[in-house]
Structure 1
Amino acid sequence: MTPPSALATDRLWSVVTAHRIAVADLLDGLSAEQWEQPSLCTGWTVRDVAAHLTLQQLGLRDALGTMRHWRGTMDRTIAHAARSRAAAWSTGQIAGNIRATADVHKPTLGVTALETLTDILVHSQDIALPLGLRLDLPTDAAAASATRTLTMRWPVPPASVRIVRRFGLTATDVDWSAGIGPQVSGPMSALLLILCGRTVVLPQLSGDGVADLATALA
């Protein structure tokens, strides 16, 4: 792996702040119908994903409250918390909370700031892409997120990461590569999203490994 140097803490949080504001601005412009459209997260609407982004600074008391509604796995419990907030809050409250907490530089209990970064980068695309909207990702931040996603053991990465690790990845817009195996190249943002199982970006990728990657992810 030859990723760029680790993202400095001040740069990481400046990206998080700016991207939260950009997401809030995007949400402010959505119609009622767009809020209820499916996101890239299977079974989640745009509203559900946006509500999830209001849960990025959970402390001990918040985490204990979430655990009282345990649904058998962490993923299902998180989904329940997001959908509960989506049902309880108006769209204005959701977008307003994301904007109001944009400069809160504190990750949720049990994760690092890199998970907070990945959360806002990937979920912003979960909202924007299915609506045909564009919200660009900074390449240095996407590279840092991809490196973390490829190497982390906790939190447990998505199943897509185990698949993508079998391929050699090369970014075409920043000096970043990872892994060995059949080659897959593309923009850094697309590589981050494919690591997180978002197959909608497959048309942006090239290389002799793309067909096998698409089959494995399917």
Structure 2
Amino acid sequence: MGDSDPYWSAVRATRLQIADLLEELAPAEWEQESLCRGWRVRDVAGHLALVPTITTWDMIAAAPRARFDPHRINTLLARRHGSREPADLIAAIRNHADTRRTAKALDTRNALFDAIVHSQDIALPLGRRFPVAAGHSREGLQRVWEMGWPFHARRRLAGLTLRATDTDWTVGDGPEVAGPALALLMLATGRTAGLDALHGEGLARLTSSSSNR
């Protein structure tokens, strides 16, 4: 991939924007709960700092303590790295903003949506804004819709039409849920924090059955 590759340019820009946000936080904000259940803001930052440098061996080494459960492995490593000093986490995110790798057990096609969603996991509970370009959200949304595990968005949201109102993206069949691509991305990854930005006949079903993950 060349330096002008739009995907990695978006990843880099999002990571640097996250570092800028983290740099603004007061010490107490680092300890607040994020939208990721059981993760503090600092744990989300630890995850984002780790992703570009993590190896499959790092994941294997953590597996026994995490009972070989992928979600537990992710949480264990996020908390471990989130215990570092905020300045170290910010520096790591900045220093690896251009890095285009991750563990072989993971997938670099997830880098963009991972950064976008976790930016909201940090910003929204703190009452802060973290704008994301609609095209970037659309790309992340398409990846989540196609990938299956761990979000199973296509299965969970079966029977609904999802339509982005700020970019060209529509999937599904049934009552419509429409709104910004970023809000749909949050929905597709199991979060309800963006529901107030959505509208349509299908929204009633979501508000009665959805829960944060």
The answer to whether the superposition gives a TM-score over 0.5 is yes
- Are positions 1:195 and 2:191 aligned together? no
Per-residue CA distance 1:79-118 (angstroms, 9 max, x = gap): 011111122x111111110011111111332233221111
Q: 8 Å contact 1:54–1:97 — kept in the other structure?
A: yes
Q: Matches of 1:207 and 1:21 in 2, distance apart? A: 34
Select which of 200, 207, 211 maps to 2:200: 207
User: 1:161: Cα distance to partner?
Assistant: 5.2
Letter in 2 for 1:31: A
CA distance in 2, matches of 1:170, 1:78: 31
Q: Equivalents in 2 of 1:139, 1:73: separation in Å?
A: 33
Q: What SS does the aligned partner of 2:193 have?
A: helix
Residue 82 of structure 1 corresponds to 78
**Contact between 2:56 and 2:105, CA under 8 Å: does it hold in 1?**
no
Equivalent in 132, 139, 148 of residue 137 of structure 1:
132
1:111 counterpart = 2:109: no
Residue of structure 2 aligned with 1:179, choices 167, 172, 183: 172
2:151 to 151, 154, 158: 158
Aligned alpha-carbon RMSD (Å): 1.7
Deviation string 1:129-167 (CA, Å, 9 cap, x unpaired) is: 1111111112122112111111213xx222565322331
Query: Does the residue aligned with 2:190 lie in a helix, a strand or coil?
Result: coil
Deviates more, 1:71-80 or 1:183-192: 71-80
Distance 2:161 2:64 in 1: 42
State how far apart, in whole Å, the 2-side matches of 1:164 and 1:27 are. 33
Q: 1:22 aligns with which of 17, 29, 44?
A: 17
Give the aligned partner of residue 49 of structure 2: 54
Q: 1:73 to 1:63 in 2, by over 3 A?
A: closer
Query: Are residues 114 and 45 of structure 1, via their aligned partners in 2, closer, same or farther at CA, if it must alter by over 3 Å?
Result: same
Normalising by structure 2, we get a TM-score of 0.91
**Cα contact 2:31–2:40 (8 A) shared by 1:** yes
Fraction of identical pairs, as percent = 38
- Aligned residue type for 1:43: G
Distance in 2 of aligned mates of 1:53 and 1:201:
21
**Structure 2: how far apart are the matches of 1:59 and 1:84?**
15
- Please name the residue that 1:67 is paired with: 63
Q: Which runs of 5+ in 1 are unaligned?
A: 1-8
C-alpha distance in 1 between matches for 2:200 and 2:32:
32
Quote how far apart the aligned CAs of 1:71 are: 2.9
1:130, 1:33 → 2: CA distance? 13
What SS does the corresponding residue of 1:54 show, helix, strand or coil?
A: helix
Give the TM-score normalised by structure 1: 0.89
